[in-house]
Structure 1
Amino acid sequence: MLPSDFPPANKRLGQNFLIDHNIVRKIVAAADIGQDSTVLEVGPGRGILTEALSAAAGRVVAVEIDPLLCQMLENRQAKWPNVEFICADALSYPLDQLPVGTIVVANLPYYVSTPLLFRLLDARRRFPRLVLMLQEEVVDRLVAKPGGSEYGVLSVMAQYAADIHKSFRVSAQCFRPRPEVGSAVVRLLVRERSGLTAEAEREFRLLVKAAFAHRRKTLINSLRDEGYLVSRATDVLNRLGFPLNARAETLSVSDFIALTGQFRETN
């Protein structure tokens, strides 16, 4: 049972608290944590996952935005001496304070899951793997392959940075209050080498976002509407042997990397 003195779920913060210990065990197992591991937990909530992480890891840094929950969790600090509770917004918490090799394990609040995910992937040289509970729709976009409606900017950018595997679904009955959407756990193994320099990676991001900005249009027309010269885009596609009527959702991550390289060469 959860402690009765915890405050009720805050709808504004999108709080849905995990209550199923079997799911907790599966999440910790997927994270492959050892006693020498440092773990970052985003949104510890009422601490059900925190308790399991404390038993498995050497150190846990738990970042919670809700001050009421922070106070309740800190009152239980003695139970988890290797857990450091930080009352802060994970979107602004300085990730560079964490040691290289930190493992991220979190039940991400769904309303900020995408910006949080991008922020964690931006700091991926610090995190060898991430095990995240997300809205199932987001997980399906993360693992989507070219050609489908779920494949988009999130798919390309995440798969560029990591090898991604959908581990298991989580029933709404495993939360209180019950969410109205499905959930799933996803495991991201960060790629040590992503194939682009920091400068080229910035151009890669801009290119991917521009390519998917107008999904109903061809790649060339979408790029044109985002400020790319049609003549230049046509030349690049011809050089790579891509059809001029190609759409962004038909291109793989490696195709977008190749496009970035060609645009840089023709700049």
Structure 2
Amino acid sequence: MPKVKSEKKSRIHNEVSKQGIMFNKDFGQHILKNPMIITAMVEKSALRPTDTVLEIGPGTGNMTVKLLEQVKKVVACEIDTRLVAELQKRVQGTHLQSKLQILVGDVLKTELPFFNVCVANIPYQISSPLVFKLLLHRPFFRCAVLMFQREFAQRLVAKPGDKLYCRLSVNTQLLARVDMIMKVGKNNFRPPPKVESSVVRIEPRNPPLPIQYSEWDGLTRIAFIRKNKTLGSSFKQTSVLATLEKNYRLYCSLDNTKRKLRSDDIPEDFNIKSKVEKILTESKFIDKRPRTMDLDDFMMLLNAFNSQGIHFA
């Protein structure tokens, strides 16, 4: 038995060593090798000669070179120093060298510079935090063409009522328009991942909708605890009510002359459960289920709570 395992490991090693590099699973390294897909992603980015492009996880530079040929500058963010060296070697002594800037480190911990467009084959394990890091980045970028695990991509574009519609869907669509571009089979990578991939195009809403994102995020976090349950059921949970009461009392205690509610206005018999239930009933959301609610529904619900002094951040 150990011998079979050893042979399998050896085959994998040979497969990924053809380029002289052992790819690191911890970094989610699967190098896109199909030039047609690389070309298609670059084309869907609608690049301009004056653009600065952010590329995340450039790997050995297959896409980087394509980008450098078409834009003013590419900022490549790479965590693996071995691949940084490969990328530098690839452009060294060419006319592309001066157009490439490499940021070495974890993109989630890196302060991103200005960029017009982002193009990337995203390591799957950082997909969600990276999407929101990009969408909350200022100044606004024009668009991002990103490759994700297929199910994650489907969640990004899911609509109310879809099986995969979730908090990720509604939070992303608050901040951006998201379109599915193409499917990418696992054999287009070296080494092949265990799952299929898809490419999406993300275009930030500019100007953004007039919503405080931290409030919105707090509301959807509660609503999607169980997306098939009614809001009346989700908002009955003890931990949820305790958080909302704490926020309510804090909000009322803040020094603000324009505020209608003040801490000394809260009656001794104040009951947060009754207040929340009343808001949900009067706004006609008590029997609604998050899986069927669209952006307008959540905006109306947030406004109903906020107007009564109930906050989520």
TM-score (norm 1): 0.91
- 1:15-50 CA deviation, whole Å, 9 max, x = no partner? 110001100111001111111000000000111111
The yes-or-no answer on 1:207 pairing with 2:228 is no
Compared CA separation, residues 247 and 124, structure 1 to 2 (3 A): farther
Tell me, in whole angstroms, the C-alpha distance in 2 between the residues paired with 1:165 and 1:124: 22
Pairs aligned (count): 260
Task: Select which of 66, 84, 90 maps to 2:101.
Answer: 84
Once the two structures are superposed, the pairs formed by residues 88-107 of structure 1 within 5 Å of their partners are: 88-95=105-112, 98-99=113-114, 102-107=116-121
Residues 172-203 of structure 1 show CA distances to partners (whole Å, capped at 9, x for unaligned) of 11111111111010001110133224xx3211
Residue correspondence of structure 1 range 230-241 to structure 2 within 5 A: 230-241=273-284
Q: How does 1:34-183 map to 2 (within 5 A)?
A: 34-78=48-92, 79=94, 80-81=96-97, 82-95=99-112, 98-99=113-114, 102-123=116-137, 125-183=139-197
Q: Distance in 2 between matches of 1:257 and 1:230?
A: 21
Counterpart-to-counterpart distance in 1, 2:138 and 2:25: 30
Residue 200 (structure 2) aligns with: 186
Q: The residue matched to 2:207 in structure 1 has which SS?
A: coil
Give the stretch that moved more between structures: 5-14 or 151-160.
5-14
Q: Distance in 1 between matches of 2:118 and 2:236?
A: 39
1:8 maps to amino acid: M
TM alignment of 1:16-31, pairs within 5 A: 16-31=30-45
Moved more, 220-229 or 19-28: 220-229
CA contact (8 A) 1:133 1:184 kept: yes
Query: Which of 253, 257, 261 matches 2:299?
Result: 257
Identity of aligned residues (%): 34
Contact 2:177–2:205 (CA under 8 A) maintained in structure 1 = yes
Structure 1 gap segments, 5+ residues each: none
Is this contact kept in 2: 1:125–1:192, CA < 8 A?
no
Please give the per-residue CA displacement for 1:51-85, whole angstroms capped at 9, x wherever unaligned.
Answer: 11111111000000011111221222324321111
Displacement of 1:86 in angstroms is 1.6
CA distance 1:216–1:3, change in 2 (3 Å): closer
Range 211-220 or range 38-47, more displaced: 211-220
In the alignment, structure 2 segments of 5+ residues that lack a partner are 1-15, 245-271
Q: Would you say 1:217 and 2:234 are equivalent positions?
A: no
Contact 2:84/2:104 (<8 A) preserved: yes
C-alpha distance in structure 2 between counterparts of 1:26 and 1:238, whole Å: 50
CA RMSD of aligned residues (A): 1.9
Letter in 2 for 1:89: D
How far residue 6 of structure 1 moved from its aligned partner, in angstroms, is 4.1
Q: 2: CA distance between counterparts of 1:246 and 1:131?
A: 34
